[in-house]
Structure 1
C-alpha cells in the first residue's frame, strides 16, 4: 500500500464513482480533492495544486488540462480512467497529454495504484531534483559571496603587507637598495626590510615564511613589529640586538616559538658597514644564499644556520665578508628556483649566477633576465632584493 501525503485531484462527473475514489486514496494517507470537471482546476488556490490528477476524462478534457497545467512546475501528471479501452482511444488520450490510461470498466485497483505510484515517483524525483538544484544554487551563491569576502580581505591584507615593505629605490649614501615581490597568492610569505642605523651602517634582513597565504603573511606582521621595536631600542639605547645579525635571528626565533603558530621561516640578516668596509651577516637556513658580486665575479656567500622558529636551542653564527668598492648583493627567495628551467638544484644555482652576472644588478634588469614579467602563473612567492654601491 502506498503511504504518502501528496495531494491528489479526482475529476469525475459521477459523484458515486468520485466518492469511492476519494475514499480509496484518502485511506492510503493522501490529501484528496474532488472535482466534477477539468475546468474546476482553474478555481483551485495555488497552495492546493495537486501532485497528480486522476480523472474520468475525454481527450478534449485532457488537452484542456494539459494547456492549463503547462506553466506549473512540476506539471501534475494526468492519469485517465476511461470506459472505451480501444487502442485508438488510448493513443488519442495519450497524445492529448495523459501520462497513463487505466480502464474504468471492471476497474483493477492494483493497476490504478501502480499507475499512481509511477506518476508519484516521477513527481518526487522532479521535486528532489529541484531541491538539489536549489541547494546547489544556494551553495554556489554562498560560496561566491564568501569568495568575494575572502578576496576583499586578501586585497586589504595585501595592501597592508605592501605598506609594511620599505620604499623602493632607497639610498643610504652610496648604497642603493631596491626590491620586487611577486606573490603566488594575494598575500606573501616573503618579507624583507632595510633600515638606516647611522652614518656608515645599514641593516637589512630577508625572510621566507613557510607556507602561503594569510597565516604566513601574519608572521610577516610579527616580523615587522619586532624589527621596528629593535630599531626603537637602539635609538633609546636599551638594546643593540639589531646591530648583531645573529642576535636578531635568535630574537625572531624565540618570539616566533612563543606565538605557537606552528610556523617557521628561513632568514638572512646583515649589517653593511661602509666605514669598516665589511658585511656582517647571519644565516637562518636561507636558500639560495645571496649572490655577492665584487666587480670582477659573482658567487654565493658562504654560511649556514638552522631554520628560525623550529628549535628553541637554535644557535646562529656570525659571518663576515669584506666589501670591495662597487659591490652588489642579490638576495632572492627560493620561489625563483621554481621558475628556473634547469634539471637540478646545482643547475639552477649555476643558471642563477649566470643570469646575475649578465645583468646590471638593478631590479629592472634582474626582473628582465629572470623573465618575471612573462610569468602567467607563479607556483611560489618570488622576492628579490638588490643592494648595490655606486662608485660616484
Structure 2
C-alpha cells in the first residue's frame, strides 16, 4: 500500500514532547557525513548515516526516516535513483527528500522534482541554510501529520456512521414488513364487485395506505390515504390512521356508530373527524389526502368523499375513461375544510381506479409528469387485464416512465364490477 492511500495513527511522544525527527544522511564521503551530521545532532535531530544508496534503502524499512539528505553523485546507486526507489516503496508516513548537489542546474532540478525530491541544497552546505530548509520541511510534515490525524478521526466517524446506518436499515426493513402488514388483505370479492390493492413505497417505508372493510351485509368501506412527506414521520401517521380504519369494530371510526345500532359514519363525516383529530390532537405539520367510499355491492351505489386526493378514474366497458370528483381540500390543513362529496352508480363492466399522486406525478429526469392523460393511456392499454395483473402492469409502466427513479410512494385501489357469466349455447350435431 502506497503512502497516498494509507492514513496511519500519529503516535505522540511521552509527556507531550515531540520526538526528535529522524534524518537519514546518505553520502559516500565520511567527512561530508561527519560535517553535516554534527550540525544536525546539535539542532536536535536523530541522525542515521549510510555510505551508499543501497545501504540507505535497506535502512528505510526499519527506520522510516522523516528526512533523507542524499548526495546526488555516488558510486552505484545515485541520489536520484535512491529518490525514485524511496518514493516507490510502501510507507506509513511521508518522508521529506533533499538532494545534495554540487551543480544545481535548471535541468537537474527538473529531473530531481520528477523523481520525487522535495528540495535541493548546493554544496558546500551552510549550516544556517541547512537548518532553514529542514525547518520548512518540518512545516510540511506537521501539516501531513495533522491531515492523517484528521483522516483517522473521519474514518472512525464513518465507521460508526456505517454501523449506525446498517442498524437503521435493519430497523427500516422490519418496519417495512410491519407497514405492509397494515394492509391485511390485498384483494376481496363482494358479490359482483372485485377489489384489488396496490401498495409500493418508494423507500423502505412510506406514507401511503389503502384498504377496505365490510360495513354490513350489503356495503363495504374502502379508503386510500397519502400522508405528506416520506419516511418515518409519514409511516408513523399512516400506522395511527390504520388503527382508525381497521377491521375491528371497536377501533374503526366508521363502524362505531353501526356498533351502537345506528348507521355507519358517512364518508364526509369521517373526513371531518380526521381533520379535527389532526388539528386538535396531533402536534405535527403533516397532513394527508384521502378518498373514502362506501360501496353497496348489491346496487353498485358509491358514496365517496374526496379530500385533496387525485381524481378517481372510471373506465367504462367501451374503454372510455371518466374523471370523477372536483378535488376537495386536504385533511389537517384548514379549520373548516370543504371536501368533495360524490355519489354515482357502478354498472356491470365498469372499473374504478383510485391512484395516489405517486402515479400521476411520476416523471423522468428530463420529461414531464405522467399526469392523468398518461394514466388514462395506461388504463386503455391494459383494458384486457384485471385485478392484480392490471395493477402490476400499471406499476411497471410507471416505473418504466420514470426510468426506475421513482421518488414517491405508489398506491392504488381497483374496483371492478364484474359482468355476470354468459351462457354459451353449443351447436347441435
Q: Which shows bigger deviation, 193-202 or 256-265?
A: 256-265
Residue matched to 2:268: 246
- Deviation of 1:379 (Å): 3.4
- For structure 1, the residue ranges without an aligned partner over 5 or more in a row are 27-31
Residue matched to 1:292: 314
How far apart in 1 are the matches of 2:275 and 2:263? 13
Residue matched to 2:212: 194
1:231 match: secondary structure? coil
User: Residues 350, 374 of structure 1: CA spacing in aligned structure 2 closer, same or farther, 3 A cutoff?
Assistant: closer
Residue matched to 1:266: 289
Aligned counterparts, 1:7-86, within 5 A: 7-9=21-23, 18-23=37-42, 25-26=43-44, 32-35=45-48, 50-53=65-68, 59=74, 70-74=89-93, 76-79=95-98, 85=102
Tell me which of 182, 186, 192 is aligned to 1:168.
186
- Deviation of 1:302 (Å): 2.6
Q: TM-score with structure 1 length normalisation?
A: 0.75
Does the 8 A contact of 1:10 with 1:22 survive in 2?
Answer: no
User: Residues 68, 369 of structure 1: CA spacing in aligned structure 2 closer, same or farther, 3 A cutoff?
Assistant: closer
Number of corresponding residues? 375
How far apart in 1 are the matches of 2:378 and 2:36? 94
Does the 8 A contact of 1:52 with 1:79 survive in 2?
Answer: yes
1:383 pairs with 2:396: no
2:186 match: secondary structure? coil
Q: Which shows bigger deviation, 235-244 or 368-377?
A: 235-244
How far apart in 2 are the matches of 1:225 and 1:127? 58
Q: TM-score with structure 2 length normalisation?
A: 0.70
Q: Which shows bigger deviation, 364-373 or 376-385?
A: 364-373
Does the 8 A contact of 1:181 with 1:382 survive in 2?
Answer: yes
Aligned counterparts, 1:1-392, within 5 A: 7-9=21-23, 18-23=37-42, 25-26=43-44, 32-35=45-48, 50-53=65-68, 59=74, 70-74=89-93, 76-79=95-98, 85=102, 102=121, 105=124, 107-131=125-149, 133-134=151-152, 137-138=155-156, 140-228=158-246, 231-233=249-251, 234=255, 237-238=259-260, 243-257=265-279, 258-275=281-298, 277-287=300-310, 289-293=311-315, 295=317, 297-316=320-339, 318-339=341-362, 348-357=371-380, 359-360=383-384, 362-363=386-387, 364-368=389-393, 371-372=397-398, 374-375=400-401, 376-392=404-420
RMSD of aligned Cα (Å) = 4.4
Does the 8 A contact of 1:328 with 1:361 survive in 2?
Answer: no
Does the 8 A contact of 1:230 with 1:239 survive in 2?
Answer: no
User: Residues 242, 165 of structure 1: CA spacing in aligned structure 2 closer, same or farther, 3 A cutoff?
Assistant: farther
User: Residues 349, 56 of structure 1: CA spacing in aligned structure 2 closer, same or farther, 3 A cutoff?
Assistant: closer
User: Residues 99, 187 of structure 1: CA spacing in aligned structure 2 closer, same or farther, 3 A cutoff?
Assistant: closer
User: Residues 319, 45 of structure 1: CA spacing in aligned structure 2 closer, same or farther, 3 A cutoff?
Assistant: closer
How far apart in 1 are the matches of 2:289 and 2:116? 74
- Per-residue CA distance 1:194-252 (angstroms, 9 max, x = gap): 01122111001111111222222222111111212873253782597953211221222
User: Residues 262, 279 of structure 1: CA spacing in aligned structure 2 closer, same or farther, 3 A cutoff?
Assistant: same
How far apart in 2 are the matches of 1:351 and 1:36? 80
Does the 8 A contact of 1:265 with 1:307 survive in 2?
Answer: yes
Residue matched to 2:427: none
- Deviation of 1:378 (Å): 1.7
- Deviation of 1:125 (Å): 4.8
Residue matched to 1:29: none
Q: Which shows bigger deviation, 67-76 or 306-315?
A: 67-76
User: Residues 294, 307 of structure 1: CA spacing in aligned structure 2 closer, same or farther, 3 A cutoff?
Assistant: same
Does the 8 A contact of 1:80 with 1:101 survive in 2?
Answer: yes
- Per-residue CA distance 1:60-112 (angstroms, 9 max, x = gap): 69879877894543353354778xx4679xx8xx799986554675x523321
- Per-residue CA distance 1:296-329 (angstroms, 9 max, x = gap): 6542223442211112333546432234344422
Q: Which shows bigger deviation, 270-279 or 367-376?
A: 367-376
2:250 match: secondary structure? helix
